[in-house]
Amino acid sequence: MTTTHPTEESHARALDADDPLAKYRERFHIPFRDGKPVVYLTGNSLGCQPKDARRLVEQELEDWANLAVNAHFEGRDPWKDYHEQFRDPLARLVGAKPSEVVAMNSLTVNLHLLMLSFYRPTRTRYKIVIENNAFPSDSYAVASQAHLHGFKPNDAIIRLKPRQGEHTLRTEDVCERIIAEGDSIALVMIGGVNYLTGQLMDMQTITRIGHEAGCVVGWDLAHAAGNVPMQLHDWNADFAAWCSYKYLNAGPGGIAGAFVHERHHTADLPRLAGWWGNDPATRFNMQPGFEPVASADAWQISNPPILAMTPLKASLAIFDEIGIDRLREKAVTITGYMESLICSRCRDSISILTPEDPGHRGSQLSLVVNTNTAGIRDRLEERGIVADYREPNVIRAAPVPSYVSYHDVWRFVDTLSDLVS
């Protein structure tokens, strides 16, 4: 192992030489600027393209051209049951049984479909718990669901805020609020990893406390799926939904996913029904009566969009090859390396929103730029650094372990320290 100083470039090179996952970087297209690969730290917004994605999409385009409708049954990867191959790899990523997951729609659409089943308010139990800094789409979704049921969003939504002077939520505060107002809460629906701060929530504990208070508990896993290991089945979560264009690298607008715990599969729940949610054994009988399949597939409405699913297939193959636990191991290490460099070189000009405890964060550091903030995103890009910037002064840097190198992290901090000094 290297004995160089941790802040030196040679140390980053040595870490890459010792990294067993370094070879997987070659499985992705890394964007270029001025003929050189950029430092891409925006996988928390849009992941890099797996190189196999083009080949797989072209295969489906060729089958469409050559077989047309018959590709549903005679294609190299027949479309009729195409979505079924996603169950096992998605189940492994989120800790579920294959029957509990389905690839479908987009994230907010899935949240709405699931809330139609699981947000069942009464006159006295009608409130929804979310984070105060939840992603705007979540806020819009829960507000519109409350309004749909005749409640005023300002009254129906409980927004969890950190303590004065703190940036992230404490698990004990979340649980105490749920316990205190449990009789009025119908649904707890929090982000598994917060988009802004990068905080990883204690999903197991919050789910348990929510259930003890009589609440339904669902999770928005937009920044958790493909980022951190989970055990949704064992944690007894009622439902969850996620997108796939961030850490799952399925491309812009890529097919999303949903989880429904198996105990709900045969329950008499209201849902919006469609053809592809019908039991496949009777689907082609073309009868008017809906017979939901006893799995998460029952929440499907339409047949799968093959071309949108194909890039996810390419990405999931890489996830299966590496394994989420090995990815998490590197994520903890490389995120910690970024943190140590920031603290060593930018302490006076950068503060970190994300929790210090590696167990309470994913592959992201949210950096508050306190000096020389003007045009910081553009100035970084001019130097070959692509990182997400949120107003007024937060850089969300995501060292995704499958394609970001330690030298990338060194370049980022070296450039950032120069720009903010």
- What tokens were used for 301? 């409405």
Amino acid (1-letter code) at residue 153: P
Does the residue 4 lie in any domain?
no
Q: From edge to edge, which strands make up the β-sheet containing 101-103?
A: 101-103, 257-260, 239-242, 216-220, 185-191, 127-131, 157-160
pLDDT for 3 equals 58
Count helices and strands in the chain by DSSP H and E runs: 14, 17
Please list the pLDDT of the chain residue by residue as tens digits (421 residues): 445 678 899 999 999 999 999 999 999 999 999 999 999 999 999 999 999 999 999 999 999 999 999 999 999 999 999 999 999 999 999 999 999 999 999 999 999 999 999 999 999 999 999 999 999 999 999 999 999 999 999 999 999 999 999 999 999 999 999 999 999 999 999 999 999 999 999 999 999 999 999 999 999 999 999 999 999 999 999 999 999 999 999 999 999 999 999 999 999 999 999 999 999 889 888 889 999 999 999 999 999 999 999 999 999 999 999 999 999 999 999 999 999 999 999 988 999 999 999 999 999 999 999 987 888 999 999 999 999 998 889 999 999 999 999 999 999 999 999 999 8
Instruction: Identify the domain boundary among 320, 351, 372.
Output: 320
According to DSSP H, which parts of 301-323 are helical?
306-322
Q: What is the pTM of this model?
A: 0.96
Q: What is the DSSP track for 186-244? A: EEEEEESB-TTT-BBP-HHHHHHHHHHTT-EEEEE-TTTTTTS---HHHHT-SEEEE-S
Does the residue 70 lie in any domain?
no
Residue carrying the six token digits 């999303």: 256
Instruction: Identify the domain boundary among 320, 345, 377.
Output: 320
**Quick one: which H or E segment has residue 386?**
strand 385-386
- What tokens were used for 339? 């943190």
Does the residue 389 lie in any domain?
yes
Does the residue 222 lie in any domain?
yes
339 in the same domain as 314? no
308 in the same domain as 330? no
241 in the same domain as 366? no
Does the residue 259 lie in any domain?
yes
What span, in angstroms and rounded, lies between the C-alpha atoms of 22 and 27? 10
376 in the same domain as 354? yes
Instruction: Identify the domain boundary among 298, 320, 342.
Output: 320
371 in the same domain as 384? yes
352 in the same domain as 301? no
Does the residue 67 lie in any domain?
no
Task: Output the domain CATH number for residue 269.
Answer: 3.40.640.10
263 in the same domain as 362? no
353 in the same domain as 313? no
Give the distance, in angstroms, between the CA of residue 274 and the centroid of all CA atoms in the same chain.
26
What span, in angstroms and rounded, lies between the C-alpha atoms of 129 and 157? 6
Task: Output the domain CATH number for residue 367.
Answer: 3.90.1150.10
Q: Nearest 5 degrees, angle CA 318-CA 319-CA 325?
A: 140
254 in the same domain as 126? yes
What span, in angstroms and rounded, lies between the C-alpha atoms of 112 and 115? 5
In the chain, the number of structural domains is 2
What span, in angstroms and rounded, lies between the C-alpha atoms of 278 and 27? 37
Does the residue 64 lie in any domain?
no
Domain that holds residue 187: 81-320
Listed residue (302, 279, 304, 281) closest to 292, CA to CA: 279
Q: Tell me: the pLDDT tens digits for 156-195?
A: 999 999 999 999 999 999 999 999 999 999 999 999 999 9
- What tokens were used for 291? 């017979």
Give the distance, in angstroms, between the CA of residue 221 and the centroid of all CA atoms in the same chain.
5
145 in the same domain as 252? yes
269 in the same domain as 120? yes
Bridging pattern class, strands 32-33 and 36-37 = antiparallel
340 in the same domain as 304? no
258 strand-pairing partners: 102, 241
Does the residue 370 lie in any domain?
yes
Amino acid (1-letter code) at residue 28: F
Would you call 264 helix, strand, or coil by DSSP? helix
